[in-house]
Copies of this chain bind each other. A is one copy, B any other.
Amino acid sequence: MSNGVTISQAAAFAGVTVKTVRHYHKHGLVDEPRRDSSGYRRYGSAELLRLVQVRTLAAAGVPLAEIGPMLDADAEQFAAAIADVQRRLTERIEDLIARRDMLHRLADGDGVLLPDRARAFLDRLPDFGLSAENIAAIRDGLVLTRALVPEGFDDYLTEVERALGDTKFVELSKRSWEAAAWAPDDPRIEELANATVDHFLENPGLLAILTSLQGRSDDADARYGMISRYGKNRAPAWARLTKLVEKKLRSAGVPIPNQ
């Protein structure tokens, strides 16, 4: 009956829903327009302009609470605010692109848990005669290590990779895995512990496997204990073996956290 467009026409023009327009009124972002004789809202071009401004900013991810002050500020502040919104939007876009690229790693489980270097390391293990079960346990250990001591993980991996070139170390490790199936009082455990400690002391470079996870911070030391305990619950023989090795190393002067 009167001039101006209705709320649904205004909403369609701005590309939002009727409810959204009323939402903007309720939050004071767009002034309520005149009402006609039936109480219907009638929008003129001033309100349409404001509406389009608001939804453009809202669609760009600006929180509604910031939009009002932005539009009511002077031209200079407004320009600065717009530049800021554009900057944030650019960041957001780059983040989404990174996440999109990350998605294809989801197809393979390890892809999101371990970096490529660690996966390559695991891929080499079958050549050393380790069983799929052992490798899965090693994988879990790597994942936990990375979760617990992320800052030491790269160095740790480097040391373990290097140790793979040491035939004797690989052999001892394999026997240690087998030891999980032994009885806790099996005499071979002490024998294996001695051989392991001897080899570590003869090749001090191997100790870097341990130190790469220690000394970085007090926290890291505590976490080392947690990692070394991982799996003990499953195999009592393994627990005894680890305990013996740690004790012998410690008595040889190698600092091992004892928690």
A residues in contact (CB < 8 Å) with B: 2-5, 9-10, 12-13, 43-45, 48-49, 52-53, 56-57, 59-61, 75, 78-79, 82, 85-86, 89-90, 92-93, 96-97, 99-100, 102-104, 106-107, 109, 112-113, 139-140, 143-144, 146-148, 150, 226, 229-233
Q: How far is the CB of A229 from chain B (nearest CB, A)?
A: 6
Which residues does chain B contribute within 8 Å of A79, judged by CB atoms?
Answer: 107
Copy number in the complex reads: 2
A-B contact pairs, 20 of them (CB 8 A): A3-B229, A3-B232, A9-B147, A12-B147, A13-B146, A44-B144, A45-B139, A45-B144, A48-B113, A48-B143, A48-B144, A56-B112, A59-B99, A60-B100, A60-B102, A61-B96, A82-B103, A86-B104, A89-B100, A93-B96
Q: Is the CB of B49 within 8 A of A113?
A: yes
Please name the 7 residue pairs, one residue from A and one from B, whose CB atoms are nearest each other, closest first: A13-B147, A45-B143, A45-B140, A89-B100, A3-B230, A52-B112, A60-B99
